């Protein structure tokens, strides 16, 4: 008998929690957050001019060479 009452009370608490979450969702999301008004300056402005320097014609490194080399352990390599 006590077990069945505990189940009913637990179900009631769970259902009321679901209803409370739904009410909070409706209350907090009912604002008109979807429409945003952008107000810009009526006068058109130009941004700063940027200049691009051309890359050099020569490549700095044609072949990559490691700074350090290691000796292969015995049994590896040629």
Domain assignments of the chain as residue spans, ordered by start:
1-28
From first to last of its 78 residues, the chain has per-residue pLDDT tens of 789 999 999 999 999 999 999 999 988 886 655 566 666 666 666 667 767 777 777 767 677 777 888 888 888 866
Global confidence as pTM: 0.38
Tell me the residue length of the chain: 78
Handedness of CA 35, 40, 44, 48 (dihedral sign): negative
DSSP code at position 58: S
pLDDT at 68: 80
> Cα–chain-centroid distance for residue 11?
38
Determine the pLDDT at residue 23.
93
């Amino acid at each position: 008998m006590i077990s069945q009452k505990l189940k009913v009370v637990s179900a009631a608490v769970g259902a009321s929690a679901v209803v409370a979450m739904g009410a909070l969702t409706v209350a907090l999301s009912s604002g008109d957050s979807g429409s945003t008004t952008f107000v810009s300056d009526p006068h058109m402005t130009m941004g700063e001019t940027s200049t691009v320097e051309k890359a050099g014609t020569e490549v700095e490194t044609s072949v990559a060479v490691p700074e350090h080399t290691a000796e292969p352990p015995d049994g590896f390599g040629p």
